[in-house]
Structure 1
Amino acid sequence: MYPGLESERSRIRRGQPGYIRIDTVHQGDFNGRKGIYHINAVDGVTQWEIVASVEKISEAYLVPVLESMLAQFPFIIRGFHSDNGGEFVNHIVPGCWTNY
């Protein structure tokens, strides 16, 4: 087990909201057109969920949508966990949650 994951689980067991799990899912292509990507952000304690979609996975598309999504949570964002996909592990995208 990874230490970060155990830490997240410990916080969830203590009932402290604000640790967000986030992932993207490609909707699929249709008739030769590239499909959209769904972004799902869920708090591990409250299960409060925010869903959005973007045309492409890039900073230009993700940063404004992530900032909007994180601003909608009714509590302070304390942590951010992704599956380490390239869209979330660069130095700019994770930084957008530090304002919330």
Structure 2
Amino acid sequence: MLQSHGQKVRLGPTLVLIKDATKRLVRKRAKHYDQRVKEARLKIWRVMDCICGKRLAAMLPELVPILQRHGQMKVDAETRDKLCQISAATIDRLLSAEKKKWALKGRSHTKPGTLLKQQIAIRTVSEWKDQPPGLVQIDLVAHEGGDAHGDFLQTLDVTDVGTAWTETQAVRNKAQKWVVEALEAIRRRFPFPWIGVHSDNGNEFINAHLVRFCHHHQIAFTRTRPYRRNDNCYVEQNNYSVVRRAVG
């Protein structure tokens, strides 16, 4: 009835109603998911290796009965029904605080490369559709345990775009020498020859060693746009699912 602050409405000969926008009635929404649902959902999320809400929501109707059948979860019928009906957005919202506890800080150790990168062509995310086998994306995954001082183990992750074939190799640090040696070891293990290598703009890749490596093996060398991780999305998605799940 009252649309703006200070508006007056006469309700009678002597009664005038004046709206005050600073005084609003706050209605508290009743909680639909109680503590039992939250605890069960958290347990399932951990069992499924902390997957995203969209994947978890699609799996819950099938997963909850399986966990009950094998004695891994004891919930009543009401809690089970709520678990099977919960939406992906609600799962992500309820898990937001828990995800923050597990989030690693400062995982990126990529530093800008040298002027050499101006000689290396850029390839964007839109150019990776329907590619033949042999075009690989590469990335390094650091295992510093939260302390980036000194040397620590790295994993070189190499993913073929066309087939999703993935190979990894341990590297003692980000020195260009070790990275190229690891690339050569992976190249020899691959079931098909490489025709292209694609990396981010880190100086562990944008260097003369890797340029010579690609030139020697007649491999095209391309790079991502600065700060555009999606340009290297095929290997980026494997950094967790393949590397961090196994190594940390």
Compute the TM-score of the two structures, normalised by the length of structure 1: 0.78
Q: Structure 1 or 2: larger strand share?
A: 1
Alignment match of 1:63 (pick from 164, 171, 180): 180
Matches within 5 A, 1:1-100: 4-5=123-124, 8-10=127-129, 13=130, 15-29=131-145, 34-97=151-214, 98-99=216-217
Deviations 1:69-99 (A, max 9, x none): 1111111211111112111111212432442
Q: Which runs of 5+ in 1 are unaligned?
A: none
What percentage of residue pairs aligned between the two structures are identical?
27
Deviation at 1:59, TM superposition (A): 2.2
Q: Structure 1 or 2: larger helix share?
A: 2
Q: Highest relative contact order (Cα 8 Å, sep 6+), 1 or 2?
A: 1
Q: Which secondary structure does the structure 1 equivalent of 2:186 belong to?
A: helix
8 Å CA contact 1:80, 1:94 repeated in 2: no
* Cα distance change, pair 26–9 in 1 and its aligned pair in 2 (3 A): same
Deviations 1:20-77 (A, max 9, x none): 0000011014898742001100000111111011111112212211111111111121
8 Å CA contact 2:143, 2:154 repeated in 1: yes
> How many residue pairs end up in the alignment?
96
RMSD: 2.7
Moved more, 57-66 or 22-31: 22-31
Compute the TM-score of the two structures, normalised by the length of structure 2: 0.34
Deviation at 1:5, TM superposition (A): 2.1
* Cα distance change, pair 64–9 in 1 and its aligned pair in 2 (3 A): same
Q: Which amino acid aligns with 1:5?
A: T
Q: Which runs of 5+ in 2 are unaligned?
A: 1-120, 220-248
